[in-house]
Amino acid sequence: IMSSRTFFVGGNWKMNGDKKSLGDLITTLNTASLNDETEVVCGAPTVYLDFARSNLDARIGVAAQNCYKVAKGAFTGEISPVMIKDCGVEWVILGHSERRHVFGESDELIGQKVAHALESGLGVIACIGEKLEEREAGTTEEVVYAQTQAIADNVKDWSKVVLAYEPVWAIGTGKTASPEQAQEVHEKLREWMKANVSEAVADSVRIIYGGSVTGANCKELGSQNDVDGFLVGGASLKPEFVDIINARA
């Protein structure tokens, strides 16, 4: 039985694109036939948030790819949830593995960012996931539970949170967790939520999968009972993103 959770597909454009290429992508998305039962959100680079929100069809959401933990101040180069909202943008991606492992963000900082973004009224796509050596050492659950705990400690209202499980070893590597591997972790995360948050939240929260999702593998991944959508990297910049959005069509 498919759950009643609304399927959610996020596109993380990362540090890619310019007005020309993103404009072309936006035109493709605006004119495509998209499954209207799927929620779609595009994560644009900070400098293009306004551009993306002004040009994308209203049925497609926009996310910032990061933000800071306070509203304003002497934090050169950072942006705040209030600024994101001022651009008409409703979402932010927090805790992405690149923020954790390239830029050294701790579980604690990510938790603080989640708390402030939610207090400011943004929806949060909160990312968790283990590295290859952690999976090989058998500590996947330990790692993702600790990351999820740091997020959960900072959430009062789960209706504005989407949890994205992204095994770091599958991001941009062309390796994808098998549908069974993804389902296994998603199911365990839901059990963890049941035990540590509440049964109602465990049933309603969307847990989406990220890690080399493509037009070719999205249908099988999306058919898993506890996979409620995707956070898509490279493929979100290509026309096949439409196929991924329509994985459940």
Mean pLDDT score across all residues of the chain: 96
Checking 105-113 for CB contacts under 8 A at 24+ apart, the result is: 107/146, 107/147, 107/150, 108/150, 109/69, 110/147, 110/150, 110/151, 111/150, 111/151, 111/153, 111/154, 112/69, 112/154, 113/67, 113/68, 113/69
In tens, the pLDDT along 213-238 reads 999 999 999 999 999 999 999 999 99
pLDDT at 174: 85
pLDDT at 210: 95
Residue with tokens 């942006």: 79
* Mean pLDDT for the stretch of residues 176-189: 94
Question: Nearest 5°: phi and psi at 150?
Answer: -65, -30
* Mean pLDDT for the stretch of residues 30-37: 97
- In 3D space, the residue among 133, 160, 43 whose CA is nearest the CA of residue 96 turns out to be 43
CATH architecture of 7-245: Alpha-Beta Barrel (3.20)
Which residues is 91 bridged to in the sheet?
63, 123
Query: Is this model's pTM higher than 0.85 or not?
Result: yes
Is the distance from CB of 190 to CB of 3 less than 8 angstroms? no
In tens, the pLDDT along 39-87 reads 999 999 999 999 999 999 999 999 999 999 999 999 999 999 999 999 9
* Mean pLDDT for the stretch of residues 120-147: 96
Residues catalogued as catalytic? 96, 166
pLDDT of 1 higher than 80? no
What distance in Å separates the CA atoms of residue 60 and residue 149, rounded to the nearest whole number? 30
pLDDT of 2 higher than 80? no
pLDDT band at 130 (very low <50, low <70, confident <90, very high): very high
pLDDT of 249 higher than 90? no
